Amino acid sequence: MNSNVTGARIGYIAFNTFREAVRDRVLYNLIAFALLLSGAAILVGEISIDIERLVVVNLGLTAISLFGVVIAIFIGIGLVSKEIDKRTLYTVLSRPVRRWEFVVGKFFGLTGTLVVNTFFMALGVFLALVYVAHKFEPMDVWVLAALYFIVLQFFIVCALALFFSSFSTPLMSAIFTFALFVIGNLSEDLRGFARVTSGLGGALATLIAYAVPNFSALNVISQVAHGDPIPGRLILYNTAYTLLYSAMAISGAVLIFQRRNLK
Amino acid sequence: MAIAAIEILDLEKSYLVGFWRKRPKLALRPLRLTIEEGEVFGFLGPNGAGKTTTLKLLMGLVFPTAGTARILGMDMDDPRVKSQIGFLPEQPYFYDHLTARELLNYYGQLSGIPSKERSARVEQMLARVGLSDSAGIQLRKFSKGMLQRVGLAQAILHDPKLVFLDEPMSGLDPMGRREVRDLIQQLRQEGKTVFFSTHILSDAESLCDRVAVIHQGELRGVGKVAELTSETQGKVEIVFYANAKKVPAALTALGAESRFGGGNMVNSVLPEAQQEAALDVLRREQLKLISLTPVRRSLEEYYIQQLRPAENEEIANKESFKKELRQEASRKGVGV
């Protein structure tokens, strides 16, 4: 079996996952987002002076992140477990499809859905920016960097949801993933705490600080809202970090799923 | 020498059950079975006998505790096996957001059917299972029978050499069952090997070359359907028209057990040794003979015979358990 065939199969599974999300009306969240953003833009335009851009960028990007994380968790935890429960997996795995191809295909299907979702939401944010500021400013380009980091965040959340769902129940998987998302957003504080703590407690804090996903580094919403530039080095670091972290979580999910009996 | 389509070599499966103290529960005792190429093979057994477990093991959906199997001459874990087999699970459930056409196209992609052939193949399969008119409807709107047809279409879409069907007739109406039977016959004519599990014995009797009976995870018997049902029981069945609603007393005296069918038709079963004497009675009474056939064992009788030892064993176990309880109680001076 060559890599082209493997790649094609992963692509087919990913596309089917994307199609399922679209037909199950996952993208309907865009309507809620559009209502939220347009309402906020109108309100901000009337009550604030000179901080319209700050409010729109902050609110828009935070909403994109939260909407996406909720979708990533709630669909991610069911990506494989739902297929086992409904037994749709049986007719897939009785074909020349390897289990790891299935897991990876499902992962890309969900992340693909989130990328499309983010694209439309981002379009909304830029429209709102034009509405409140009547023009684009050079610093708006950093909003794109923040959006890219949000997408990277989704990759890690999807991979974690997939990992937890490979051995626990959907409810527990959702709790674990959400907990890691919250802790991961505090990872810079955890690292700071680890630096000033010594002994066993320090070692433990360091271990936890570096084991949880570093979502702090992926959150630059406040910076770009104030128009601060994003260093190229951070973009590179975050890209490499996300690839590595997601790959590790998916590998864990694959290792568990490879040995699992499908009852 | 021809390669066997399936060679099951002491395949065994046990699961760990219990919450705190996990203990193994045997789902399939070491199973050794060979299915030849081109055979239609029926895997019979009551619910929970181990039929689905065996199929799941062969499909790689669950992993064996011990033993292995060879499929089409290859090890069951060989990835090449999957492109040459088709599988219909029991009570199949498919992606209901897809239409029948989309689903078959998706499975065609996963099976590696080249895109040039795929559309034509999908349409051909839809026509074969009678779903051409419903091909554009989402599966969530399909009835159980229609889903079963989709299941059959996906199992044979990629023209596999070997087809596994898990309870293919379950939940189907008489028409649906007939269509499935016809499809299995067609697969046989095309030279495919069909391995199907069922507990509907009439289907197995009419379709299978050979059957195996499994019960409580244990293989109880294997044989050719023609041989299993050809054994006579030392009895004959005589069908004749009586003059009135009355069986001649001389016939009853020969040990005949008689019952009336439609009109004045009588079915009498009596020992083979009394056959000539019974015919003499009919001649004497001037009754019209319709048929005389030896009573053969049906597949159902064979099936029940294979299951019975287990039931007897179960009863014996229960009895001995009760006896032990009584003995224990009498030692302690408590009544049970």
To test the contact with chain A by mutation, choose from B80, B95, B110 the residue with the greatest count of A C-beta atoms within 10 A, namely: B110
CB neighbours (10 Å) of residue B136?
Answer: 10
Interchain CB contact of A85 with B (< 8 Å):
no
Q: Are B62 and A263 a contacting pair at CB < 8 A?
A: yes
Biggest CA–CA distance in chain B, Å, is: 83
- Sheet hosting strand B232-241, strand order edge to edge: B257-260, B265-271, B232-241, B288-296
Q: Does residue A9 sit in helix, strand or coil?
A: helix
- Structural contact between residues B249 and B281, judged by C-beta atoms closer than 8 angstroms: no
> Would you say B37 and B190 are in contact if contact means Cβ atoms under 8 Å apart?
no
Does B112 touch chain A if contact means CB atoms closer than 8 Å? yes
Q: Closest Cα to residue A107, out of A232, A261, A258, A251?
A: A251
Contact B100, B94 (CB under 8 A): no
pLDDT computed for residue B31 by the predictor? 94
Length of chain A: 263
pTM of the model: 0.84
Give SS3 for B290: strand
Whether B228 and B297 have beta carbons less than 8 Å apart is answered as yes
Contact residues, B window 92-111, toward A, CB-based 8 Å cutoff: 92-95, 97-98, 106-107, 109-111
Asked if the C-beta of A262 comes within 8 angstroms of chain B's C-beta atoms, the answer is yes
**Helix, strand, coil % (nearest 5) of chain B?**
40, 30, 30
pLDDT of residue B336: 38
Are B5 and B71 contacting, i.e. CB atoms less than 8 angstroms apart?
yes
**Cβ distance of B83 and A95 shorter than 8 Å:** yes
pLDDT score of B324: 66
Residues of A in contact with B61 (CB under 8 A): 89-90, 93-94, 261-262
B239 touches chain A (CB under 8 A): no
| Res B317: pLDDT | 62
Cβ within 8 Å of B, A 161-220: none
Q: Cβ of B79 and A261 within 8 Å? A: no
Percent of chain A with pLDDT over 70: 98
How does strand B257-260 pair with strand B232-241?
unpaired
Q: Kindly give, in sequence order, each residue whose CB lies less than 8 Å from that of residue A19, ignoring residues fewer than 6 positions away.
A: B97, B98
Convert the pLDDT of each residue in B61-77 to its tens digit.
Answer: 999 999 999 999 999 99
The answer to whether B39 and B193 are in contact (CB under 8 A) is yes
The chain A residue lying nearest B95, using CA atoms, is A88
pLDDT band at A45 (very low <50, low <70, confident <90, very high): low
**What residues in chain B have per-residue pLDDT under 50?**
334-336
The Cα A162–Cα A77 span in angstroms is 6
Question: Mean pLDDT for chain A?
Answer: 90
Asked if residue B203 lies in contact with residue B181, where contact means CB atoms within 8 angstroms, the answer is yes
Closest-CA distance of chain B to residue A61, Å = 31
Instruction: Determine contact, residues B169/B128, Cβ cutoff 8 Å.
Output: no
Q: What confidence score (pLDDT) does residue A129 get? A: 86
CA–CA separation, B148 vs B139, rounded Å? 11
User: Closest approach of chain B CAs to the CA of A9, in angstroms?
Assistant: 6
Report the gap between the CA of B222 and the closest CA in chain A (Å). Answer: 26
Measured distance between the N- and C-terminal CA atoms of chain A, rounded to whole angstroms: 28
3-state SS, residue B78: coil
Contact A96 B110 (CB under 8 A): yes
Cβ distance A91 to B98 less than 8 Å, yes or no, reads no
Residue B281 φ/ψ, nearest 5 degrees: -60, -45
Sequence-distant (6+) residues with CB within 8 A of B92 are A87, A90, A91, B147, B148, B150, B151
pLDDT tens digits along A151-165: 999 999 999 999 999
pLDDT of residue B335: 44
CA distance B245 to chain A (A): 57
Taking the CA of residue B18 and the nearest CA in chain A, the distance in Å comes to 16
Q: Contacts from B245-252 at CB under 8 Å and sequence distance 24+?
A: B248/B281, B248/B282, B248/B285, B248/B287, B250/B281, B250/B284, B250/B285, B251/B278, B251/B281, B251/B282
Q: Which of residues 31-60 of B touch A (CB under 8 A)?
A: 56, 59-60
Q: Are the beta carbons of A13 and B110 separated by less than 8 Å?
A: yes
Q: How far apart (Å, rounded) are the C-alpha atoms in residues B151 and B90?
A: 10
Nearest chain B alpha carbon to A4: B112
B13 CB-side CA count, 13 A? 25
d(CA B124, CA B126): 6
